[in-house]
Chains A and B, each alone.
Chain A
Amino acid sequence: MQEAPTANPENSSSENTEEYREPAIRIKELDFLYGNNQVIHNVTLDIFPKEIMAFIGPSGCGKSTLLRCLNRMNDLVEGARIGKGSIEIHGVDLHDKSVDVIELRKKVGMVFQKSNPFPKSIYQNVAYGLQIQGVKSKRVVDQKVEESLRKAALWEEVKDRLNENAYGLSGGQQQRLCIARTLAVEPEIILMDEPCSALDPVATGRVEELILELKNEYTIVVVTHNMQQAGRISDRTAFFYLGKLIECDLTKKIFLNPSKQQTEDYISGKFG
């Protein structure tokens, strides 16, 4: 906290404050509703390229909903809609008519709370994203599968059993497989919805290591319940409460010297 300058999220996004960076995701005054039930209230937030942004907050605070807005997974929920405001990725409004949601999801990958490999072989799981895009060449697919599994730090463990069913892997391996599956589509941004909540501490450690490595290439948004985890891996942290963004700042600052009382109460465990 000592070294971090006090600043608003816009200019504290990087340790290097002199350089202005175009945000990868820009959320502007967003209201979001399920039917008549408003779950997100006037959220404004920028997420910068190649940073890890953590969303924290008690259950039902809207952090997962906001995450699912970023690749329009909420489209699948009946009655879900944007009240006002917008989400832009590289300056393009996600809800613009010209946006192809399929292309969007290729660009914005997602890793889910519970590992959800397909009931197929390990190889097929990773190759799936390429195959639906119509990539036929076995060589290209093979190469991409290996590359993605290496990036997900899983290659050494599974290279001899690529054709076995993915359900044979351990929970942590399955989650890394899901990450590899996402990487194979070459996204720019990866959304992670409590990726370690179903894992034991050892597996969690490995996935966290992986997330930190991926930061070099990808913009990552992580929703987590685990505040230590947010502290360990994220550059910046956004705290949500009852659908409102209470505070967003450098992680160290949020944890050591939050500017809002609510944030401090939550982090110190007074509620949650």
Chain B
Amino acid sequence: MNSSQRKDHWIKIFFASNAVTSIIILGLITLFLFKEGVEFFGQYRDALERYRKSGMEYATVVTKQHDDQTLLYRYLESILSQEVESMEGIAIDSTKKIQAQEKTKALLQLTREFQNTKEFLLVYEKKMVKWAAETKLFLLTKSDLIDVKKQAISSDLPEEDFSESIEELIDRQSFSHTELARWQNYFIRHKREDLAKRINPMVGTESGTHKTGEINNLTSIIQESAISQYPDILTKQDNRFSTILSDYKPSFILSKSETDFKKAKDALSEYLVNVPLYKERLTTWDPTKDYPLHRAFSGFLLGKDWVTNSARQDWYGVLPLLSGSLLVSLIALALAIPFGVGSAIYVNQVATAHEQTFIKPGIEFISAIPSVLIGFFGIAVLGGMVNLIAGERLNSLTAGFLLALMTVPTIFTLAEDALNNVPRALRDASLSLGATRWQTCARVIFPSAITGIISAILLGFGRVIGETMVVLLCAGNRIAIPNVSSGLGVFAQPVHTMTGIIAQEMGEVEFGSIHYRALFMVGIALFLIALLVNFLSQTIAGRYKASY
């Protein structure tokens, strides 16, 4: 091999290694994403199973029922307050006043009675939540203990005062705090701080445990009370509700209150219809029922809640984030497509060479603006304008506007390329047949470039859905599925997005926790969307190239 061949050889290796490295890195990113994310489902399933086994699921249904009752109570309360307000206008000591006072007194009585009745369930609910919380802590502690025990065995630590076998640990229904402290010390003695950290000797004391000095599995007690106490409370409540209502002679100062009261009564009867459903759910509750893995999948993909750091249960449903991302993207594309494609057509078909020299770089410069600055602009200027329309500064509309601004260059540049790629001969042919410039554009050039334009739009979509900073700053960051029933208002609701949530929460989560993995799953979902969009746009663009 002579020297010039050797040089060629090394140059070839240099460029080949560059190409290979980037592909390997892409592969590693994908692998890493999936590796971190995929454990989420197992962990989430365990968490949801714990949610069921601990009785927290049960307690939550009770809470929901109580919430329904509270809603009814609010009706009465609001009627009462509007009645009391209306009394102020009536002269003191007049007979009218006295009558009015009697009326409100009766109403006040009713409201109080209702509240007292509601209280039966409230007391029960509080007890259930407390027990469930303790059980949940117990189950967590138990699974942690089993885990650290396994690690102790695998690293050959002497048994000493942590002599319980794994089977024994699994069978335990309670742990005392002294026991836990001893086991923690055991690990500290053996220089295993990492494991010692996972044992909390005071677990449960903050909220008060069922029995002092220990933490218990209360599932069986909860289940027992579900069968014995709960139905009693319901019967008692039902009776009270119907008696207090039948005792009450509705008579109001305001006619509005009368219609309101009718509504309240309707709501009550609706609630009473639902009672058997609650009863059915709660008395047949079974903490031992398995929680299948596919429920964790559907819980993520179709879950309507994204709740973290909750005292009861964290929910990781991607739907509110996905819908937020899609809503913002929809708004952005609806604005960016006409602007981007329109300016591409103008620059390509109409503009003089002089105009082209400043329009093209001008539009392309937008993409050079750091997105955090665009976010500033959104908060400071655009937010004010959106406030006039929507009554809120930061929402999907603000973010959509800004993302549109950021996508116009992408769509513009690619659409302009697509128009440019239409052979000149086609334009000439059309013009030579006596077509005007606009006819040529609309009937020949645009249709010939349409696949390229669609692929430009798809890439624009990919840009929008992956944008983070602007949505984090300007989308309003309320985690909720946009309310479609509000008509056009759906476009101006604060939303949170997939990218936004990752940026916002990733810095705070504990490494390896469910929350951490859930964020990775959101990242994977984002990755798959981007992959799909890219794939589609390349297929379409490929078809377009093949036609010439």
Which residues of chain B are near A129, meaning CB under 8 Å?
433-435
A116: which of B425, B435, B447 is its contact (CB, 8 Å)? B425
| Contact bitstring A201-235, B, C-beta under 8 A = 1, else 0 | 00000000000000000000000000000000000
B287 to chain A, nearest CB (A): 66
Q: Which of B44-99 contact A (CB under 8 A)?
A: none
Q: Which residue of B lies closest to A167 (CB)?
A: B547
Q: Which residue of B lies closest to A131 (CB)?
A: B443
Per DSSP, chain B at the interface is helix
With A78-B353, A128-B443, A167-B547 already in contact, the answer to whether A116 and B433 are too (CB < 8 A) is no
Bound Cα distance from A132 to B442, whole angstroms: 11
Q: Which residue of B lies closest to A100 (CB)?
A: B434
Tell me if A133 and B428 are in contact (CB < 8 A): no
With A112-B429, A118-B429 already in contact, the answer to whether A132 and B435 are too (CB < 8 A) is yes
> Within 8 Å of chain A (Cβ to Cβ): is B499?
no
Tell me if B431 and A116 are in contact (CB < 8 A): no
A180 to chain B, nearest CB (A): 12
Tell me if A105 and B431 are in contact (CB < 8 A): yes
> Within 8 Å of chain A (Cβ to Cβ): is B439?
yes
Q: Which residue of B lies closest to A102 (CB)?
A: B434
B443: which of A78, A106, A132 is its contact (CB, 8 Å)? A132
> Within 8 Å of chain A (Cβ to Cβ): is B38?
no
Tell me if A76 and B429 are in contact (CB < 8 A): no
Tell me if A118 and B426 are in contact (CB < 8 A): yes
> Within 8 Å of chain B (Cβ to Cβ): is A181?
yes
> Within 8 Å of chain A (Cβ to Cβ): is B109?
no
Bound Cα distance from A36 to B358, whole angstroms: 25
Q: Which of A95-135 contact B (CB under 8 A)?
A: 102-103, 105-106, 109-110, 112, 114, 116-120, 128-129, 131-133
With A78-B353, A118-B444 already in contact, the answer to whether A102 and B432 are too (CB < 8 A) is no
B433: which of A78, A120, A181 is its contact (CB, 8 Å)? A181
Bound Cα distance from A272 to B444, whole angstroms: 37
Tell me if B433 and A109 are in contact (CB < 8 A): yes
Tell me if B425 and A112 are in contact (CB < 8 A): yes
Tell me if B434 and A119 are in contact (CB < 8 A): no
> Within 8 Å of chain A (Cβ to Cβ): is B423?
yes
Interface residues on A, range: 20 to 34
Bound Cα distance from A85 to B444, whole angstroms: 35
Bound Cα distance from A140 to B349, whole angstroms: 32
> Within 8 Å of chain B (Cβ to Cβ): is A4?
no
Interface residues on B, range: 20 to 34
Tell me if A103 and B429 are in contact (CB < 8 A): no
B444 to chain A, nearest CB (A): 6
Which residues of chain B are near A133, meaning CB under 8 Å?
434
> Within 8 Å of chain A (Cβ to Cβ): is B217?
no
| Contact bitstring B483-524, A, C-beta under 8 A = 1, else 0 | 000000000000000000000000000000000000000000
A73: which of B428, B439, B443 is its contact (CB, 8 Å)? B428
Q: Which of B410-467 contact A (CB under 8 A)?
A: 423, 425-426, 428-436, 439, 443-444, 447-448
With A78-B353, A118-B426 already in contact, the answer to whether A73 and B433 are too (CB < 8 A) is no
Tell me if B426 and A116 are in contact (CB < 8 A): yes
Which residues of chain A are near B429, meaning CB under 8 Å?
112, 116-118, 178, 181
Bound Cα distance from A16 to B504, whole angstroms: 92
Bound Cα distance from A120 to B444, whole angstroms: 9
> Within 8 Å of chain B (Cβ to Cβ): is A245?
no
Which residues of chain A are near B444, meaning CB under 8 Å?
118
Which residues of chain B are near A251, meaning CB under 8 Å?
none
Bound Cα distance from A203 to B58, whole angstroms: 84
Bound Cα distance from A50 to B457, whole angstroms: 51
Bound Cα distance from A224 to B430, whole angstroms: 22
Q: Which residue of A lies closest to B436 (CB)?
A: A102
Which residues of chain A are near B547, meaning CB under 8 Å?
119, 167
Q: A118-B444, A133-B434 are in contact. List 18 more A-B contacts (CB 8 A).
A: A73-B431, A76-B428, A102-B436, A106-B433, A116-B423, A116-B426, A116-B429, A117-B429, A118-B426, A119-B426, A119-B447, A119-B547, A128-B430, A128-B433, A128-B435, A132-B443, A182-B432, A185-B434
Minimum-distance CB pairs A-B, first 10: A116-B425, A106-B434, A110-B432, A129-B433, A105-B434, A132-B435, A116-B429, A132-B439, A102-B434, A119-B547
